[in-house]
Amino acid sequence: MIPTIPTTAPATTAHKSVLLKESLDSLDLRAGGVFVDATLGGGGHSAEVIARFGKEVKIVAIDLDQAAIDLAMKRLEVGNVQYYCGSFRNLDLALAGQKVDAELFDLGWNADQFEAAERGFSFQKDGPLKMMFSQTETPAPVVGVRPGAVANALPRFTARDIVNSWEEQNIADVIYAYGEERYSRRIARAICEARAQKPIETTFELVAIIGHSVPFFYKKGKTHFATRTFQALRIAVNDELSALKEGLWKGFDALAPGGRMAVISFHSLEDRIVKRYFKEKADQGEAELVTKKPIVPSDEEMQENRRSRSAKLRVLKKN
């Protein structure tokens, strides 16, 4: 029988954009420019661009989640915004050849998505094991929205598919590589033992399995014991690291001379990719590092928004 453990969900928290002022200040936007919000989410960064420039800056807003776009359209209706429903790895399709002056990749998850139990992202809410940023295979037609390529609209599999059908070694490898989880092998073994009795269907079932496979002291740490496993599954489902590499490459190619790219990362795997890519472009003489070291949130922001604690902002300027 799959073990169960009590889990209490926290109160819903409204999404807050991280490093809002710092990221936009570092992009050095000017009236008449084109700004790409590669991860629209709740629309906080784009709303600030509109507050500063009105319709004098054109915004190309990209998001995998149609629901996020629907909400953001209401918030940003006073701006000059072009929407694209798809992954930022398809940034070239979203821009259709136009050059841009500034791009922002905010790699943090959208609190609204994680608070929705039916999306299956959170270990603190009971829901189906999905973890997909995109909710539909073919985005619903919306006025002003260009749909993304169907091939990239939905992940190839869900978190449920991983835990119920992948081989134990592959599950362990994913949890270790994408979650940097020291107990990945124990957790993978427990998952396979549990699914032999019945399929693992919900987030709480998976949390219980993880909880019974790790040492007692590990469950008393500051970080929830299921955090790294859930992170790993989410990254695998959405192919996040490959998408980031492709998005950076296409984003840099789309920048006009003197254009800037800013990336806000939230864990070491993302930041390592961004740091290496920026350094490579700088070493090749194609760009210069605007930020020699990453910008991090102020103490005040970290106190007001706990999700900002691990954020790092890096900025690159194209020569």
Helix axes 227-238, 203-211, angle to 10 degrees: 130
Pairing relationship of beta strands 34-37 and 58-63 according to DSSP bridges:
parallel
Task: Report the pLDDT value the prediction gives residue 307, as an integer from 0 to 100.
Answer: 79
> pTM (2 decimals)?
0.86
A 10 A CB-CB count for 256 gives 14
The pLDDT of residue 285: 98
**Could you count the other beta carbons within 10 Å of the beta carbon of residue 245?**
15
| Beta carbons of 104 and 78 less than 8 angstroms apart | no
Task: Check residue 67 and give its pLDDT.
Answer: 85
pLDDT at residue 130, rounded to an integer: 86
On the CB side of 101, CA atoms within 13 Å amount to 14
Instruction: Please give the pLDDT value at position 306.
Output: 82
Q: CB neighbours of 20 closer than 8 A, spacing ≥ 6?
A: 44, 45, 48
- pLDDT number for residue 141: 33
Q: What residues of the chain score a pLDDT lower than 70? A: 1-15, 110-120, 135-156
The confidence score (pLDDT) of residue 298 equals 93
Q: How far apart are CA 131 and CA 67, in angstroms?
A: 15
